[in-house]
């Protein structure tokens, strides 16, 4: 469907992004809540969400700060979790790379899992969309997500002080991460990457400075990449045979 | 918590995350990246997140590292529901229900 105006593209993006509200509200509340548990105040939790807007990386940083990991390891691990943003950025570039600089900066800042997934699906389906319409659509898709991410971080932080230990919130991050990972297993290579990462993480649990996480992550990525090459070769072989 | 460390983490993570997002859209433009690099980047999330979770599932800090049936079954249920439904929210709710259900049962015994 061609868009007649940038406004209709924006509205369409808004509609397509709306279902993510259901995920964003509990996750941002959880972040605010756990941030307060870790010792941040409400303002610090909000600034964290505004500056970083990346759930998984924020949770990773909190977890490692709680374990008193060295600052460098906290940063490296959280940024490693966010490396997929570079992938998203690379894959959006052919579609919005010709937009004005300030618009590209805005798209970059608001690149999150939800906006990327919604936008890339639309851009691939609708190759004739103009660049301004693509940018409008993208910003429409983030509109229901980003302000709620800020707002419910504050709500969670305000609630945080009243939550008792019996709620077992120590396990909220593992559950959140496992739920986020599950839909990502698209190919055998993704599964192999995760399995290798888990095994290495358990074996390397005793490595100091929480470096086990980075070692396991790199091992998993290499395993995934290797498996992908192997799968491609096998498919190519089948095509010849 | 040490406030200086906290602000270093917040600002460092903010700048780093923006640079990761801006790298290609803003700077690289339409130039191609090496295949081997893209191939590794594709697996960052599925490698790093499970690696982060695994030790907490097997040796939770809340039980001083003793394996805990409630937390372990919650992890298994979350992952299973997530794989079957591809629905993040359904997986979270199933995991939380399992965790609380098991903690309640263990508390009774």
Over A29-94, what HEC string results?
HHHHHHHHHHCCCHHHHHHHHHHHCCHHHHHHHHHHHHCCCCHHHHHHHHHHHCHHHHHHHHHHHH
What is the pLDDT, as a whole number, of residue B109? 55
Query: Which of chain B's residues have a Cβ under 8 Å away from the Cβ of A221?
Result: 40-41, 43-44, 47
Which of A24-33, B23-32, B73-82 bottoms out in mean pLDDT, i.e. has the lowest? B23-32
Which of residues A159 and B31 earns the better pLDDT score? A159
Q: Which residue has the higher pLDDT, A1 or B65?
A: B65
A106 exposed, middle or buried (CB, 10 Å; 0-12, 13-18, 19+)? Answer: middle
Contacts of A175 in chain B (CB under 8 A): 74-75, 78, 91-92, 95-96, 99
Q: Residue B97 and residue A223: Cα distance in Å, rounded?
A: 34
Q: Structure tokens of A128?
A: 């004739």
Sign of the CA dihedral with A14 first, then A16, A17, and A20 last? positive
Give the span between the Cα atoms of B85 and B106, in whole angstroms: 28
Residue contact A200–B51, C-beta within 8 A: yes
Average the pLDDT over A52-65 and give the result.
89
Residue A184: list chain B partners with CB under 8 A: 45-46
Q: Place A241 in a pLDDT band, splitting at 50, 70 and 90.
A: very low
Report whether pLDDT(A71) > 50: yes
Neighbours of A102 (CB within 10 A): 8
Interchain contact A39–B (C-beta under 8 A):
yes
Contact at CB, A217 and B13, closer than 8 angstroms: no
Instruction: Give the residue from A144, A162, A141 showing the smallest Cα distance to A152.
Output: A144
SS3 string, A161-207, reads: CCCCHHHCHHHHHHHHHHHHHHHHCCCHHHHHHHHHHHHHHHHCCCC
pLDDT bin (cut points 50, 70, 90) of residue B33 is low
A80 burial type by CB count under 10 A (0-12 exposed, 13-18 middle, 19+ buried): buried
Q: How confident is the model at residue A240 (pLDDT cuts 50, 70, 90)?
A: low
Is residue B41 very low, low, confident or very high in pLDDT (cuts 50, 70, 90)?
A: confident
CA distance A21 to B66: 37
Kindly indicate the confidence band of residue A233, based on its pLDDT and cuts at 50, 70 and 90: very high
CB A186 within 8 A of CB A180: no
> In the prediction, which pLDDT does A204 show?
93
Residues of chain A numbered 173-232 and touching chain B (CB < 8 Å)? 173-185, 189-190, 193-194, 196-198, 200-202, 205, 212-213, 216-225, 228-229
ipTM score for this prediction: 0.84
Task: Kindly state whether B53 is in contact with chain A, defined as any CB-CB distance less than 8 angstroms.
Answer: yes
Residues in chain A: 241
Distance CA A195, CA B21 (A): 27
Across the range A41-63, mean pLDDT stands at: 92
pTM above 0.90, yes or no: no
Is the pLDDT confidence value at A20 over 90?
no
Q: Is the pLDDT of residue A40 over 90?
A: yes
Q: Report the 10 Å Cβ neighbour count for A178.
A: 27
Chains A & B: contacts with CB separation below 8 Å: 277
| Over residues A80-92, mean pLDDT | 82
Span A44-68, average pLDDT: 91
pLDDT of residue A82: 85
Nearest CA in chain B to A112: B21
* Element (DSSP H or E) covering residue A216: helix A211-240
User: Does B56 lie at the interface with A, CB-CB under 8 angstroms?
Assistant: yes
Average pLDDT over residues B50-75: 89
Residue A45 has pLDDT above 50, yes or no: yes
Kindly determine whether residue B46 and residue A197, on different chains, have CB atoms separated by under 8 Å: yes
Q: Per residue in A124-180, pLDDT tens? A: 888 899 999 999 999 999 998 899 999 999 999 999 877 776 777 778 878 888 887
Task: Point out the residue among B55, B81, B92 whose CB comes nearest to the CB of A201.
Answer: B55
State whether residue B66 sits within 8 Å of chain A by CB: no
Token output for A38: 């870790």
CB contact under 8 A, A75 and B33: no
Question: Which carries the bigger pLDDT value, residue A32 or residue B25?
Answer: A32
Q: For residue A209, is pLDDT > 70? A: no
pLDDT at residue number A41 = 94
């Amino acid at each position: 469907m061609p868009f007649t105006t940038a406004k209709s593209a924006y509205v369409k993006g808004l509609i397509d992004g709306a279902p993510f509200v259901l995920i964003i509200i509990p996750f941002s509340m959880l972040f605010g809540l756990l941030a307060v548990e870790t010792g941040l105040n409400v303002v610090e939790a909000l600034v964290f969400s505004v500056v970083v807007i990346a759930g998984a990386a924020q949770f990773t940083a909190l977890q490692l700060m709680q374990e008193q990991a060295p600052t460098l390891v906290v940063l490296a691990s959280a940024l490693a979790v966010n490396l997929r943003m570079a992938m998203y950025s690379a894959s959006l570039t052919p579609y919005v790379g010709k937009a004005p600089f300030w618009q590209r900066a805005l798209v970059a800042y608001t690149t999150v899992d939800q906006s990327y997934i919604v936008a890339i699906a639309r851009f691939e389906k609708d190759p004739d969309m103009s660049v301004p319409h693509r940018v409008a659509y993208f910003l429409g898709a983030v509109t229901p997500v980003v302000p709620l991410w800020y707002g419910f971080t504050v709500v969670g932080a305000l609630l945080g002080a009243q939550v008792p230990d019996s709620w077992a919130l120590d396990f909220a991050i593992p559950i959140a991460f496992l739920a986020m990972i599950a839909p990502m297993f698209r190919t055998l290579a993704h599964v192999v990457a995760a399995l290798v990462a888990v095994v290495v993480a358990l074996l390397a649990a005793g490595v100091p400075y929480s470096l086990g996480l980075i070692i396991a992550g790199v091992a998993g990525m290499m395993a995934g990449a290797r498996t992908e090459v192997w799968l491609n070769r096998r498919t190519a072989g089948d095509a010849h045979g | 918590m040490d406030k200086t460390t906290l602000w270093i983490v917040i600002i460092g993570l903010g700048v780093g995350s923006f640079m990761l997002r801006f790298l290609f859209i803003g700077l690289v433009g339409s130039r191609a990246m090496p295949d081997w690099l893209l191939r590794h980047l594709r697996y960052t999330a599925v490698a790093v997140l499970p690696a982060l979770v695994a030790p907490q599932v097997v040796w939770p800090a809340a039980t001083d590292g003793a394996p805990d049936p409630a937390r372990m079954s919650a992890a298994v249920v979350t992952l299973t529901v997530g794989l079957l439904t591809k629905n993040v929210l359904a997986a979270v709710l199933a995991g939380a229900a399992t965790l609380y259900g098991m903690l309640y049962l263990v508390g009774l015994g």
